[in-house]
A and B are shown apart, each in its own frame.
Chain A
């Protein structure tokens, strides 16, 4: 079903179920985001996508990545208030991830070059590094890779993310998808010495070799795909050496 509404006064259309952020971006409006990815369920964690939405005459500041389009709403993607709140949110995030280039860049855009807050001491359970708890890794691993290797743990300011019992997750197939989506690049994914390593989760898997002896994917990962899709046992031997 087509939904009609306005963004910054411009009439726009979207399909019901679409998010405001994706629609706005499709029309060329710039809204920052750190925890949003079209491939996974919206979560609304980082809070940098704050906009103003007027619905039924009531104006509200809200995140728009987890806001499904509705007929007749009016969206404003920038204002003094929005700018101010985004800047404060980014200041909080910058303190969490002071070394993350993408965060630094975005914060600078909002005039935040240094945070007035100190880097949080490691959470009760684990080192934070530059993690901003956006949950993209968790969602990708659960919804796309479907191995459920990762989850949040704890709550509140003690929240952490990783494998169960803070150990290397045994169901991780070292596919690297989480590292790919992480907005702060804090997971780390390398291939060396015939091993594939996901640094943050401390997971290492030996690579399977193709016919020419070139390593191309972790054994475990191939095993997983074989099981999942019921592929013949020697399928990967015949597959062209990718990567």
Chain B
């Protein structure tokens, strides 16, 4: 393959690609091969399509394209038919032959594969009619449904690397001004303006500077960064090259979780292609820019997402944060000025260069322009990846896009910001989501985890969960964090077991204060957010545990009791399945649980088809 020698060549190359595709006139069927859909069996669906297309001799008319996550993981495996963007959801391999035959060949719409709107009962044919997609602004994620992540040509054909070409023509100063004007804020957690970070790094005196992309994504319950890398790796690479050009760096790293094999694989392919095409290496696009990117696999430690720990880890050391009295943009990796940004931050950069800062600040809010990708999960109907314009309310995201709470249960709280974020109650549903407003309410944007909870979720248990996570993920250096979180977890556990008193609560608050003030890195200094925010908004629930020794949500094992009600028809299923053999009863007779022996595993409730097991 010929290298792309300069910007003019890039443009003509793109035109050729577009022409060629137009001439071929193939119908593109994009099948989601993201992690979620893979788990549903998407590889089998892809194989079935390929086989059927082959069999029916349609290979020159139809292109089967496995892609990254389309966002609507709830309904996988997703099959998106271009150009109308007709969407078939929950597609199984068995259905493929008929789809090829009747829809792709015959142009028929197969109703049973369409999305049926549970609210209106309507069937929606195309992606943009579906409420889940309709209310989103998918500037970044949108391409996931169109691009074959293993094909750089696909990316180029869609205008890829044009942002880079424009940046190179503008020169580093002008690019910096553009990025500063766009006011793009770091998507990895802190929301620090990327332009300002770049400027400091650029101006730090040194003969060597590093560019790092943070793809550690340790937030449990978040998967947007991996999905960008899996679905559109070149967008991130392009963003990094633009940063390198602006700042003056010749060496970059992507620090990615080892548990993300697919992302690593796709990124490896993309990097090799970018090198071959001439977007990485020496004299990029005929300019004097030299830049290369290496992949660094993280070892599975949440704390390694923290900037200094991440850099330690790249240097081959244990990922312990160090004091940042001198910031990493001045002295970071190997003590050189280092610019660290998140995956999504980099993915925004080509857009800004391509369409201009003025266009970009037209999206979102004044303080937080653009969009943010959330992983909307938990007790919500439409689980998946959601890209929303900044300033949308929580209600719009959870109810309009997310389709509300399943099983007719009631919304109780939404947790944003991952383990360092907070829980917001129903009264905050009309909060406009951006960096500052979440912060003001004691939560944060974080990397974009959004976990919806219903009335069956216990907030004490949620606080306990995050503390348990953090005490395990703390590097263990600071007394305040290592011992402080151990103690906070013990204290909240006491409450969840009915052993807590009001003194326990005040000790928790006292301790939180010191953990926040006295810890070295942000893992410690934000660790109290889940406890403090639940204490602030759900104090009653804590008090129910403390005073009445009751868990209103029916979660905390020590405080609940399983009981069989009159609904029981004596089918004996539960008695057979109870691991402790503690359910007694004759056939067709009311069954009874021996509360002394019951270990509260919940199996009886799961298996009872007659809704006869009650928890109180």
Q: Point out residues on A near B: beta carbons under 8 Å.
A: 43-48, 50, 61-63, 66-68, 70, 81, 84-85, 88-89, 92-93, 95-96, 116-117, 120, 132-133, 135, 152, 154-159
Known contacts A61-B517, A88-B514, A157-B485, A47 near B475 by CB under 8 Å: no
- The reply to whether B514 and A89 form a contact with Cβ atoms under 8 Å apart is yes
Interface stretch (choices B348-356, B414-422, B466-474): B466-474
- Output the residue of B479, B486, B517, B519 with the most chain A CB within 10 A: B479
- Output the residue of A45, A70, A157 with the most chain B CB within 10 A: A157
For the complex, is B440 an interface residue (Cβ under 8 Å from A)?
A: no
Point out the residues of chain A lying under 8 angstroms from B511, CB to CB.
88
Select from chain A the residue with minimum beta-carbon distance to B489.
A157
- The reply to whether A156 and B487 form a contact with Cβ atoms under 8 Å apart is no
- Complex Cα–Cα for A172 and B490 (A): 37
Closest 3 CB pairs of A and B: A159-B476, A88-B514, A156-B474
- Complex Cα–Cα for A50 and B186 (A): 30
- Complex Cα–Cα for A48 and B326 (A): 21
Residue in B473, B482, B517 whose CB lies within 8 Å of A50: B517
- The reply to whether A120 and B486 form a contact with Cβ atoms under 8 Å apart is yes
Point out the residues of chain B lying under 8 angstroms from A96, CB to CB.
483
Known contacts A88-B511, A157-B483, A67 near B473 by CB under 8 Å: no
For the complex, is B510 an interface residue (Cβ under 8 Å from A)?
A: yes
Known contacts A47-B479, A133-B476, A157 near B517 by CB under 8 Å: no
- The reply to whether A117 and B480 form a contact with Cβ atoms under 8 Å apart is no
For the complex, is B323 an interface residue (Cβ under 8 Å from A)?
A: yes
For the complex, is B318 an interface residue (Cβ under 8 Å from A)?
A: yes
* A and B contact pairs by CB, cutoff 8 A, 22 listed: A44-B520, A45-B477, A47-B518, A47-B520, A50-B518, A61-B518, A63-B323, A66-B323, A67-B323, A68-B325, A70-B325, A81-B517, A85-B518, A89-B514, A89-B518, A93-B483, A117-B490, A133-B479, A135-B477, A156-B475, A157-B472, A157-B482
- The reply to whether B479 and A44 form a contact with Cβ atoms under 8 Å apart is no
- The reply to whether B476 and A158 form a contact with Cβ atoms under 8 Å apart is yes
Point out the residues of chain B lying under 8 angstroms from A48, CB to CB.
479
Residue in B318, B325, B486 whose CB lies within 8 Å of A157: B486
For the complex, is B601 an interface residue (Cβ under 8 Å from A)?
A: no
A78 smallest CB distance to B (angstroms): 15
B220 smallest CB distance to A (angstroms): 15
- The reply to whether B318 and A152 form a contact with Cβ atoms under 8 Å apart is yes
- Complex Cα–Cα for A32 and B426 (A): 46
Point out the residues of chain B lying under 8 angstroms from A117, CB to CB.
483, 487, 490
Residue in A46, A68, A154 whose CB lies within 8 Å of B479: A46
Known contacts A47-B519, A50-B518, A133-B482, A92 near B475 by CB under 8 Å: no
- The reply to whether B471 and A85 form a contact with Cβ atoms under 8 Å apart is no
Interface positions, chain B 514-533, Cβ under 8 Å from A, are 514, 517-520
- Complex Cα–Cα for A84 and B510 (A): 10
Point out the residues of chain B lying under 8 angstroms from A120, CB to CB.
483, 486
Point out the residues of chain B lying under 8 angstroms from A70, CB to CB.
325
- Complex Cα–Cα for A157 and B470 (A): 10
Point out the residues of chain A lying under 8 angstroms from B474, CB to CB.
155-157
- The reply to whether B478 and A92 form a contact with Cβ atoms under 8 Å apart is no
For the complex, is B507 an interface residue (Cβ under 8 Å from A)?
A: yes
For the complex, is B163 an interface residue (Cβ under 8 Å from A)?
A: no
Select from chain A the residue with minimum beta-carbon distance to B318.
A152
For the complex, is B270 an interface residue (Cβ under 8 Å from A)?
A: no
- The reply to whether A44 and B323 form a contact with Cβ atoms under 8 Å apart is yes
Point out the residues of chain A lying under 8 angstroms from B91, CB to CB.
none
- Complex Cα–Cα for A114 and B325 (A): 34
B443-484, CB under 8 A of A: which get 1 and which 0?
000000000000000000000000000011111111110111
- The reply to whether B476 and A155 form a contact with Cβ atoms under 8 Å apart is yes
- The reply to whether B480 and A47 form a contact with Cβ atoms under 8 Å apart is yes
Point out the residues of chain B lying under 8 angstroms from A46, CB to CB.
479
- The reply to whether A47 and B478 form a contact with Cβ atoms under 8 Å apart is yes
For the complex, is B301 an interface residue (Cβ under 8 Å from A)?
A: yes
